[in-house]
Chain A
Amino acid sequence: MIWQIDLSVLSIVVICAFATIMVKDLLSAAIIFGAYSFLMCLLWTEMGAVDVAFTEASVGAGVSTILFIAAAYQTTRIVKARRRGRLASKIIGLGAAVIMGLVLLAAEANFPGFADPNSPASLHVSPYYITQTLADTAVPNMVTSVLADYRGFDTMFETAVIFTAGLAVIAILRRVKRSDRCDLPEPFTISTGYEDTIIRFVSRQLVPFMQLFALYVVAHGHHSPGGGFQGGVILGASFILLAITYDIKMVQQRMSEKWNILLGNIGVLIYAGIGFLCLLLGANFLDYSVLSNILPATDKIMARSHGMLGIEIGVAIAVMAIVISIYLNLSSHGKLDEGL
């Protein structure tokens, strides 16, 4: 928490934010947005939020950038200037932003100081989480224990939201029959089908290490920054790497669309299923301590730790399937035959 480093990184972040919205080329805007996300990760690591920084590095800087590039590939690349109403839109935008900013600044005067240890946010419930997480759940990573055990309902609905987002993208974009596809516009560059040996070989060599690392991140989430979301996104990113360096047909031979959607379902089912299992065994929904009755050689505290591992696995499977599905649909405009 050194305020000099904080201030310098924040000023570069502001410059990146201004640059992202001002450039005229959408690919450049996507790349600068990736740099903005990575600088945010640096900021959060410096503030001590390592789990959040890990998630933003994998999700925000990795997957968001490639989703922007896939969307720009299917539509226009150069931003055109507005033809009429140019001044009016700028005045309205600037006026609304300035008024909102002044309102927020007036409210900000009462906020606690930056990095104050006695701020009210740190004084009510969170001391219980910090002091009791080892005694209740035997998991040293406080963020994982709060995410998966103390606030497990939030995480279950968040997994459902991710699943619904994947369904929404399929519902908007997916066209299966050939007769629906005749009015699709052409992408802005036609890929020449050029195959490159070096890129294909190296990416094929890297994919098993990425997947092994993703499984490590899921399994080690109790003791180090990590957990289900980060591992699931890295697993999905390994398939996206294959889709970029080869083509979509190769990914479909390895992970067909039917199995992809099934895996997304199975992920959410594992999460809710563990909750229902706790209900069937006689306790509340998502109360993992009764799992000690069916798991061999565990007491109530270790049963909570194992229950957390089970739902993290469910989250990882669901997030992987949805990330792959969103990318494949965006980069091929729903056709799933050739893409980025």
Chain B
Amino acid sequence: MEYLISHYNYWIYILLMMVGLYAMLAKNNLIKKVIGMSIFQTAIIVFYVSTGAKRDASIPIIAHGHGHDSAHAVIDIMHYANPLPHVLMLTAIVVSVGTLGVALAICLGIHRRYKTLEEDEIQEQLQ
């Protein structure tokens, strides 16, 4: 039971990643593949953010952070969540929306050229 409570979240993140991977491989429509890519990206982001969570810890903003004596107060690291995965995942989210924009632009370009967005029809037209 202890093992289940401390490890169930990794199993669900792996399930989410595999849902995204299946959508990228097996779906016919190009925009469905892009949705699968987004699901994969958010699953990886939630995996990284969960490594920074701490039991009984608060958000990574130092309370009562104003005033002159705040710099000398003792800050207990167990009170605050780990900020480093949050920073890396902020970058990842913003880059993922940029990637999404370019992927959808390529989908629009393909639709303009081949008049369809289905993978098998595009492959027929390529031959």
Binding site for B on A (CB under 8 A): 1, 3, 6-7, 10-11, 13-14, 17-18, 20-21, 26, 29, 33, 36-37, 40, 43-44, 47-52, 55-56, 59-60, 63-64, 67-68, 70-72, 74-76, 79-85, 89-90, 92-94, 96-98, 100-101, 104-105, 108, 111-117, 119, 121-122, 125-127, 129-131, 133-135, 138-143, 146-147, 151, 154-155, 158, 161-162, 164-166, 168-169, 172-173, 183-185, 223-225, 229, 319, 322, 326, 329-330, 333
Contact = CB atoms under 8 A, between A and B. Distances in A.
B31 A49 contact: no
Contacts of A56: 42, 45, 93
A113 B51 CA distance: 9
| Listed residue (A33, A51, A161) with the most chain B CB atoms within 10 angstroms of its CB | A51
Contacts of A223: 61, 65
Main secondary structure of the interface of B (DSSP, over half): helix
Contacts of B65: 134, 139-140, 223
B87 A165 contact: no
B49 A18 contact: no
A13 B16 CA distance: 9
A232 B59 CA distance: 23
Nearest to B60: A142
B31 A26 contact: yes
A232 to B, nearest CB: 9
B7 to A, nearest CB: 7
Given A80-B118, A122-B82, A229 B90 contact: yes
Contacts of B104: 67-68, 70-71, 330
B42 A40 contact: yes
Given A21-B39, A50-B59, A330-B104, A162 B95 contact: yes
A98 to B, nearest CB: 7
B90 A126 contact: no
Given A130-B77, A330-B104, 9 more contacts: A1-B53, A20-B39, A21-B22, A26-B31, A71-B108, A72-B31, A75-B107, A165-B99, A168-B105
B82 A105 contact: no
Given A67-B104, A92-B25, A127-B77, A48 B53 contact: yes
A326 B35 contact: no
| Listed residue (A6, A18, A165, A330) with the most chain B CB atoms within 10 angstroms of its CB | A165
B78 to A, nearest CB: 6
Interface string B68-100: 001100010110111111111111011111111
A26 B29 contact: yes
B80 A51 contact: no
A126 B54 CA distance: 13
B26 A133 contact: no
Contacts of B7: 108, 111, 113-114
Contacts of B6: 113-114, 116
A82 B108 contact: no
Contact of A74 (B15, B87, B111): B111
A10 B12 contact: yes
Contact of B39 (A36, A112, A119, A183): A36
| Listed residue (A26, A97, A111, A138) with the most chain B CB atoms within 10 angstroms of its CB | A97
Contacts of B57: 1, 48, 117
B40 to A, nearest CB: 10
A119 B53 CA distance: 10
| Listed residue (A82, A130, A158) with the most chain B CB atoms within 10 angstroms of its CB | A130
A49 B52 contact: yes
B115 A185 contact: yes
Given A59-B94, A97-B21, A142-B83, A131 B75 contact: yes
Interface string B1-34: 0000111111110111111111101111101100
Contact of A51 (B27, B86, B120): B86
